[in-house]
Structure 1
Amino acid sequence: MSEDAPKAIDLFCGAGGLSQGLTDAGFDVLWGIDSEENTKPTYDHNHDHEMVVGDIRETEPPDLGLEEGDLDLVAGGPPCPTFSLVGRSKINSLEGQSTTTDERHQLYEDFLRFVDHYQPKAFLMENVKGMLSAQNDDGEDVVDVISAQMEELGYEVTVKLLDSADFGVPQHRERLFFIGNRIGAENPDMDQWKTHREPKNEEEKQIKFNDAGGPEEEDQESLQAFSDTEEKEFPHFEESPGQREPWNTVADAILDLPPVSPSGDTPPTHAEEYTMGPVSKYQYWIRGRPGPDDWEGRTLYNHECRGHNMRDLTLYKLLGEGTSYIIGDIPEEHQPYRSDIFPDKLKKQNPKEPSTTVVAHLYKDGHMFIHPTEARSITVREAARLQSFPDDFEFPVARTHAFKQVGNAVPALLAQALGTAVRKKVLGVEEEESATLEADD
């Protein structure tokens, strides 16, 4: 990475989905922190900068070797489980504060404490959709309270709810983002950076084949195009991109991966090699390092499914296209759970749509993520693809920890879209400079 690359840190970094996306957007991520010890093997395996495990409430901002104000971006997704306790506390009163001194302490305040310390040119904070409708004990809108605290630190703030499917991720995942800058720039309007849209008809829901045989040989006019505009390499993020493509789907994301079976017979319970090349444009991209065409003999990481009992396997087989995708729609006598409370407790993912939101609960069971064509729940690799982690991003931990890390992550592709928008719109680092950075890496 070039010394001129914009610098960032990642708070509450987890396995590193946000770090991955920011790196792909041209940022040099210098440091990360997370409280979960099991995330460190994954983060260290996939990133080449320092990541520490610790309680951010008791962690002082480290010396990054930068002059004051030279950090370009503080990013992170602090958990905020108790919205009612969000108050108008002054950030400068948080120095040395812990949960033992103030039970109302919220982790987003530590995010702002790091912002106040480094005075970065910009910040990017992610949180759950529920914050939009939350109020504190005083009846104030939580989003307004937090935005006001950010503005007190000297930042112009924009708050936006985004669905990752609108940015090429094969998954519906709505998350709230706070974007701020203190350098007088205009924050990006992320509606203008969307690359994908809802399909207009059944034809647009079909898998988006990459007919040209790979990026190096591709003839742009021979690709199956969904617009009259010139085909762009995926992913391509720019403001006001023109015609958008239909959402990427579960089929686009995972159906090139070899089958696995919970029976342990044929096919096996896990696969360590690809058995065919990529088919869709998304698959070409996600296999893209070292190259999508160089797949024979390459290791396939984390493609292993959990075991299932015969009752679950039978129910899994029952669900699917032509019947129903959720167990709540089948006759009551076959319901394993109360249908009035858990209508979607068992859900088979529809291959013609983006997946439902990948959740950390996957580490407990996979009932809500049944494979679209096989009677089993999805593998870690398939969950990672739905979260837009590239195939060479390995999770070298137990399967339960891997599922949890994937489910908790910011989709890497959405992070790349946000990072690119901030880099171009706020920091003023244009495409030519980014290309130079990648060439120097």
Structure 2
Amino acid sequence: MPHVDVVIGGPPCQSFSLAGKRDVEDERGQLVWRYIQIIEHIEPKAFVFENVTGLLSAKNAKGEKVIELLKSAFIEIGYSISTKVVNTADYGIPQKRKRVIIVGLRNGEPFEFPAATHSEDGSNFKRYVSVEEALGDLPLAVSDEKETTKYLVEPQSEYQKIMRGKGEITEHFIPQMSELDKYIISHVKPGGNYMDIPADVNSARIKRLQRDGGHTTCYGRLRPDAPSYTINTYFNRPNVGCNIHYSADRLITVREALRLQSFPDSYKLVSSSKQGKNLIVGNAVPPILAEIIANKLKEYI
């Protein structure tokens, strides 16, 4: 490995996810410790480490808190550590996505995270960027994955201006849906979920959710006037998160998911499968957040 001034990484976090089994002895979870070995070997001036919030409560087989072990390991190899749960919506990204960020500095100085620029009510800050502010200028989605489309209107918001590309729009195709999914989606109102679905629907899972509650974003439709919930790797399904378009009776497109993650329209996804593209989008750190943290970190090195 060559020497570098900064190492940035997010070791696979499935082992620490609140949604998963939270098995910290899982093989993927061991890559977190491999990350530490890389930092020790390269000795960069700084590193940035990203993970899911489940990391904060994860414990190993001995009952020790993984986050404390991580901090101790980083300190032991010569770094001052700053940790924060960051909500991407606080930085002008149209998505409520919380992630743990750890920044380490080799010179011993504690890193101060960049101040928030946005808030829900807009008091003392700019107001959160909404889904409609993020997606409202995109044309109707096409039916074929290989088909491209063009902008038909001028950008309606500052965020749209930032996202706009110069060429044709790719990845803006309607995800496949079963007839049952189409029926379900047609009944969910903006900001609503499975509680909006008629009781006669032929789905044991929906009946159970309506009876027992929980998983409030399941079969959710986006609100146009608020940020989205976390974009996950299954945004092509109505039953895994809030993935229904705020006005059209369909799921969001890959391009719309990219926009909500703050990837510009010029970004080209490279994958041999549809699910591969979804994995890239859902697992990513929003580029705007990456830029904000990088600019702040630059002040220290």
TM tier, shorter chain? 0.7 to 0.9
Relative to structure 1, is the Cα distance of residues 80 and 314 closer, same or farther in structure 2, using a 3 angstrom cutoff? Answer: closer
Query: What SS does structure 2 have at the residue aligned with 1:377?
Result: coil
Task: For residue 139 of structure 1, report the CA deviation from its aligned partner.
Answer: 2.4
Task: For residue 357 of structure 1, report the CA deviation from its aligned partner.
Answer: 0.3
Within the alignment, does 1:306 sit opposite 2:175 as a pair? yes
Correspondence for 1:131: 55
Counterpart contact for 2:142–2:149, Cα < 8 Å = no
TM-score, structure 2 normalization: 0.86
Q: Residues 106-145 of structure 1 correspond to what in structure 2 (within 5 A)?
A: 106-145=30-69
Q: Alpha carbon RMSD of aligned pairs, Å?
A: 2.6
Counterpart contact for 1:129–1:175, Cα < 8 Å = yes
Deviations 1:81-104 (A, max 9, x none): 4457769xxxxxxxxxxx9xxx79
Structure 1: gaps spanning 5 or more residues: 1-61, 88-98, 201-226, 228-242, 290-294, 428-441
In the alignment, residue 356 of structure 1 is paired with which amino acid?
A: Y
* Cα distance in 2, alignment partners of residues 382 and 110 from structure 1: 34
Counterpart contact for 2:187–2:198, Cα < 8 Å = no
Within the alignment, does 1:412 sit opposite 2:287 as a pair? yes
TM-score, structure 1 normalization: 0.60
Relative to structure 1, is the Cα distance of residues 118 and 176 closer, same or farther in structure 2, using a 3 angstrom cutoff? Answer: same
Task: For residue 403 of structure 1, report the CA deviation from its aligned partner.
Answer: 1.4
In the alignment, residue 358 of structure 1 is paired with which amino acid?
A: I
Query: What SS does structure 2 have at the residue aligned with 1:134?
Result: coil
Percent of paired sites with the same residue: 32
Correspondence for 1:280: 157
Counterpart contact for 2:82–2:110, Cα < 8 Å = no
* Cα distance in 2, alignment partners of residues 370 and 108 from structure 1: 34
* Cα distance in 2, alignment partners of residues 377 and 343 from structure 1: 17
In the alignment, residue 319 of structure 1 is paired with which amino acid?
A: V
Relative to structure 1, is the Cα distance of residues 317 and 261 closer, same or farther in structure 2, using a 3 angstrom cutoff? Answer: farther
Deviations 1:325-355 (A, max 9, x none): 1123445334732212655431111111100
* Cα distance in 1, alignment partners of residues 24 and 246 from structure 2: 41
Relative to structure 1, is the Cα distance of residues 180 and 329 closer, same or farther in structure 2, using a 3 angstrom cutoff? Answer: same
Within the alignment, does 1:197 sit opposite 2:123 as a pair? no
* Cα distance in 2, alignment partners of residues 159 and 258 from structure 1: 40
Query: What SS does structure 1 have at the residue aligned with 2:231?
Result: coil
Compare 324-333 and 117-126 and name the one that shifted more.
324-333
* Cα distance in 1, alignment partners of residues 29 and 225 from structure 2: 44
Correspondence for 1:350: 223
* Cα distance in 1, alignment partners of residues 23 and 188 from structure 2: 42
Counterpart contact for 1:80–1:106, Cα < 8 Å = no
* Cα distance in 1, alignment partners of residues 278 and 24 from structure 2: 30
Bigger relative CO (Cα 8 Å, ≥ 6 apart):
1
Q: Residues 26-425 of structure 1 correspond to what in structure 2 (within 5 A)?
A: 62=1, 64=2, 66=3, 71-82=4-15, 106-190=30-114, 193-199=115-121, 243-260=124-141, 271-287=148-164, 295=166, 298-321=167-190, 325-334=192-201, 336=203, 337=206, 338-339=208-209, 340=212, 343-362=216-235, 365-367=237-239, 368-397=242-271, 398-424=273-299
Structure 2: gaps spanning 5 or more residues: 17-21
Higher Rg:
1
Deviations 1:100-124 (A, max 9, x none): xxx7971011211111111100000
Deviations 1:289-345 (A, max 9, x none): 5xxxxx5xx211211122223332232122124xx6112344533473221265543
* Cα distance in 1, alignment partners of residues 49 and 293 from structure 2: 11
Task: For residue 396 of structure 1, report the CA deviation from its aligned partner.
Answer: 3.6
Task: For residue 134 of structure 1, report the CA deviation from its aligned partner.
Answer: 1.8
Query: What SS does structure 2 have at the residue aligned with 1:162?
Result: strand
* Cα distance in 1, alignment partners of residues 135 and 162 from structure 2: 12
Deviations 1:35-66 (A, max 9, x none): xxxxxxxxxxxxxxxxxxxxxxxxxxx2x3x5
Counterpart contact for 1:133–1:141, Cα < 8 Å = yes
Aligned residue pairs total 287
